[in-house]
Structure 1
């Protein structure tokens, strides 16, 4: 059984060994230590920690808000990438640079800025309050913060794909009688779908573990707007390391299953698309 493809470049064994060691030191060993620390709890104690009402509510908010934010960014990111690739307009370079702003901003700065805007007395929050909508210190605020930090992942993943997509394909479809919607569904969307799924996965994964930009706008109200990372920090501050690792282990398992499912969808789509070719 061959583990490598024939290549004119030497060094596979060294590069492969370095990759395994590097991933072990940075990923496998720390995660293994997390699971091992959790085993210091009995099964009853573990279940008591991870199934408490407060922890379950935090899991629901964290994963639910992360999923909603990632779906929003899926559509918004495609639209922003399309505008940046297909249109020329004054200030395009500035808009393109603004997309990366969530990458550059410290998460605490992003959280304070969003809270200032969406607080009941903020510039946007005050107007929304007149409509009976409260963003800050509510689950909606968590979704807003996670959408803000996740948008660049989708835009920067989809943008190169759209740049490489030849405009002649769309022109050919138009010549064959396809309308704009048919061109999008049959040509543009299938080509961009793998990149969209990748961007969705990255945005979702980032949102699950986000802390700094969320704690300010969430308000951290137990059973309402409290996220899992905050619970873990609280356990650590109380020197309850086993409880913190128990919550983190469940979060790790759920995240792994969800990301694995998304990757399987990507693999299925790539295989199906390849078979059609």
Structure 2
């Protein structure tokens, strides 16, 4: 009979998953008292500024019932305003994704006279009240235009106004990524025979896509909700140049708060869906790159 030898120190430790009861096994990381207070303050502040107002708008839209909500959105004039708003916002988002990336690239990779001035001017649409932006566009492209071009009460005017107020979003989200991008990787790809286009498509673009998507989603959300710059430019003609934000104003002036809330809720849904879709696309492109 063969005896089983047992080490005096006890059985050998298992190589499997550790059996300890620390935070590694439970997966829970308890908050410190200071972190708990900070999290509580953040949630309360976020609820006061965002969640509670959103809930109030949704509640106002639901107060009139589903039939009133559906009738408001399927009304021909309201539907035309919503369609115009979403289409113009999508076109502006596509333009910003391309032009904003190019501007960010020029500001980061190129050196030229007036670069710092251009870098400051990019942020002007952020600083200006939107009604002032509308007045600026009206002065240049209005009935008394010094260049002889009048875009007031046209879809081109709406597109230009939205493009003006959303210009900085993609630029400011892409610019930091380009600054942090390692140039050694590009040089290595070039030394291996990769063309500039291949280097951009396989190395640079996958790194930029998440930032482009983030800036585009912010610009789209701003575009569908824009009001101030469109008051003077759009003309607010039903079925032609009336946008959703001005339609909401008409509902409120007509004491139809349920209708205004219904349009607002739909815009909120469109913005959330677009932001989520762009985030999913950016993640997939980044993984494939």
* TM exceeding 0.5: yes
SS at match of 2:179: helix
- 2:248 aligns to what? 232
* 1:38 to 1:85, Cα distance in 2 relative to 1, 3 A: same
1:194 and 2:217 correspond:
no
Q: Deviations along 1:20-51, whole A, 9 cap, x unmatched?
A: 21221111111111111122213322222121
Alpha-carbon distance between aligned partners in 1 of 2:270 and 2:106, rounded to the nearest angstrom: 35
- TM-score, length-normalised on structure 2? 0.85
Shift of 1:92: 0.8
Shift of 1:149: 1.0
1:39 and 2:62 correspond:
yes
- TM-score, length-normalised on structure 1? 0.88
Q: Report which stretch shifted further, 244-253 or 100-109.
A: 244-253
- 2:83 aligns to what? 60
How many corresponding residue pairs?
Answer: 264
- 1:135 aligns to what? 151
SS at match of 1:207: helix
Q: Deviations along 1:157-209, whole A, 9 cap, x unmatched?
A: 10011111122222222211111111111111111111111111111111111
Contact 2:206 2:285 (8 Å CA) reproduced: no
Matches within 5 A, 1:204-223: 204-223=220-239
Which one of 112, 129, 132 corresponds to residue 106 of structure 1?
Answer: 129
Shift of 1:3: 6.2
1:159 and 2:175 correspond:
yes
1:122 and 2:138 correspond:
no
Shift of 1:2: 4.6
Alpha-carbon distance between aligned partners in 2 of 1:185 and 1:90, rounded to the nearest angstrom: 29
Shift of 1:135: 3.1
Structure 2 unaligned regions, length at least 5: 1-25
Contact 2:108 2:178 (8 Å CA) reproduced: yes
1:185 and 2:217 correspond:
no
Q: Report which stretch shifted further, 241-250 or 84-93.
A: 241-250
Q: Deviations along 1:209-255, whole A, 9 cap, x unmatched?
A: 11101221111111011111111111112221112112212222222
1:49 and 2:65 correspond:
no
Q: Deviations along 1:73-118, whole A, 9 cap, x unmatched?
A: 1111111111111111111111111100101111111111112222
SS at match of 2:83: helix
Structure 1 unaligned regions, length at least 5: 129-133
Runs of 4+ in 1 over 6 A off after TM superposition: none
* 1:3 to 1:11, Cα distance in 2 relative to 1, 3 A: farther
* 1:267 to 1:191, Cα distance in 2 relative to 1, 3 A: closer
Matches within 5 A, 1:249-260: 249-260=265-276
Shift of 1:261: 1.8
Contact 2:210 2:279 (8 Å CA) reproduced: no
* 1:268 to 1:15, Cα distance in 2 relative to 1, 3 A: farther
1:95 and 2:118 correspond:
yes
- 1:176 aligns to what? 192
